[in-house]
Structure 1
């Protein structure tokens, strides 16, 4: 661990900060890029070259291959790099500082930006959180992010979140050299296709939850819990924010940037766009359906409240008869009818019971009880 005196002067000039904070900053400055690197590979003519590379050595290898007249590119994958690690990669690959800042801090909306000859694409990843029932769930959709820097001879992917790993995408591409021969933008297509496929999978699972909730709402004996509908509606809104903006960006890729993306890749991206539109339309239909379910649930709750109030009113009417009679004969007057009659007390109780029984039968016949 570096000592307080061994810290760089730039840190010592920042003001009165704690020794622990200085040492923490020093450790972060010296954390190598390899700590955030998931994989780094050089691909030539669609095949992965053997060996392990650093990000700078991989790019030098690509340049050496290109001088021989062969096509090659490097694909480096990073997981939640800090500012200094990302800056080290940016200096090697010439990434724009604004895009680098977005890649470090994450929490970006899906977007596509171009910086000279480099495309910067932000994708929202989604994951369905398993749960026994919606009533016990606290989260249904978990989101993350994947940022792609795609240039003429490199792909840099930055992933945020514990899901959305790209190892499977890399493995499938390496098993298909013909796809990798199309260049770095084939990697961009494969990642976008993988992310959009997860959108469709998640929408299928959410549709199952909505069907179960719809069945509960329209079941006469089931208890209606509006909170569950609002939870699912909130998750659908979050999913819509992840999917809907991507439709516009994929359309732009298909119509713009012809100087960067060849015709074959644009054809593949149009297929990804079709799947994205399908997912977006399904999510929009979920939102409308949940809004309808909210109205149906509110109507059911109102109906249940009316039934409860009717039952309460019926019991109050029944209870009012003995209450009124007991109140009358409970007054302290000497001259009251049948006050000193031997059978007065049982007679009053009999009248009370008879009237209450008649009222009960009447309310039951009218379905108030």
Structure 2
């Protein structure tokens, strides 16, 4: 167990002793209080106490013990399970790392289970404990705090990824050279990872706002609506990036093709120029009985002049046609 606390009347009460005693003696008899239990990668034995005490559904327990779940919302009797993907972004490597948070929301308790090294919950706990007004919303406020922190991080990551995509565009259209295909594919993979985290979260937010799943007070609804708006905004940005990257790749491949055509034309032009002296030298390399320059005083200089004139003429023609 990472941390356990009871919140009543906007304040926090630290749990001393066994959590089971706290739930039986204090929490379950108090309608105005809720308990928040936070677990990090629990084993089956570690999660057994909370699952038995709160009578969690076996399928929900199975999801909690096994990571790599997609974002979703499931309702098991009076308990709601929400799976959220938490993301971080490494600007140095341009890698998006993900973690997983499972939130069990009951009438007067919340159990969070984290998988991975990403921990936004410490900041969420500090924020909620510093705002008694939010804590008065009851157990759903923890779900709101987690969603708000995670979605805000999505927005920041999307902005940074957009900057990286802009940098790639400049390297393609301004520089026009360099091995960028691997960078584009890598960034495409990171955007797809973000899409897999954000897109399934939209129906979760809409379901929460529709009501009937989690008991939301009228005062709490605008906060969840704000999270849904931010999630919709960042999802639209990620979809635009997802569509833009293939276009950047196509533009890069077109630039590479054009550069290869330019190189091929230059090689062809120089080969044509070199063909003239090669041809003349080949003719004079034949085993003639009488060579023209042996009988004519100007024969050899004329042959050299013809070579120079032809090469210069071809160079000028290729230069005018922009092959060189």
TM band (smaller chain): over 0.9
Paired residue for 1:255?
Answer: 210
* Distance of 2:211 and 2:240 partners within structure 1: 30
3-state SS, counterpart of residue 94 of structure 1: coil
Residue aligned with 2:220, SS: helix
Task: State the superposition RMSD in angstroms.
Answer: 2.0
The equivalent of 1:107 in structure 2 is 68
Q: How does the TM-score come out when normalised to structure 2?
A: 0.93
Q: For residues 1-369 of structure 1, what are the structure 2 equivalents within 5 Å?
A: 37-63=1-27, 65-66=29-30, 71-131=32-92, 137=93, 139-220=94-175, 222-223=177-178, 225-257=180-212, 260-338=215-293, 344-369=299-324
DSSP 3-state at the match of 1:41: strand
Partners of 2:18 and 2:118 lie apart in 1 by 24
Rounded to whole Å, the distance in 1 between the matches of 2:214 and 2:96 is 37
Asked whether the 8 Å contact 1:140–1:235 carries over to 2, the reply is: yes
Shift of 1:339: 5.4
How far is the alpha carbon of 1:220 from its aligned partner?
4.7
CA pair 61-365 structure 1, distance change in 2 beyond 3 A:
farther
The gaps in structure 2 that reach 5 residues or longer are none
**SS state at 2:194 partner:** helix
Residue 53 of structure 1 deviates from its aligned partner by 4.6
SS in structure 2 of the partner of residue 49 of structure 1 = strand
Work out whether residues 107 and 145 of structure 1, in 8 Å CA contact, stay in contact via their aligned partners in 2: yes
Count of residues in Structure 1 that have an aligned counterpart in Structure 2: 324
Shift of 1:247: 0.3
Do the aligned residues in 1 keep the contact of 2:12 with 2:129 (CA within 8 Å)?
A: yes
**Structure 1: tracts of 5 or more residues without a match:** 1-36, 132-136
- Could you tell me how far 1:167 is from its partner in structure 2? 0.6
Q: Which has the higher contact order (CA 8 A, sep 6+)?
A: 2
Cα deviations by residue, 1:146-184 (Å, 9 ceiling, x for unpaired): 100110111111111112331110011011112112111
Decide whether the 8 Å contact of 1:216 with 1:224 is kept in 2: no
SS in 2 for 1:157: strand
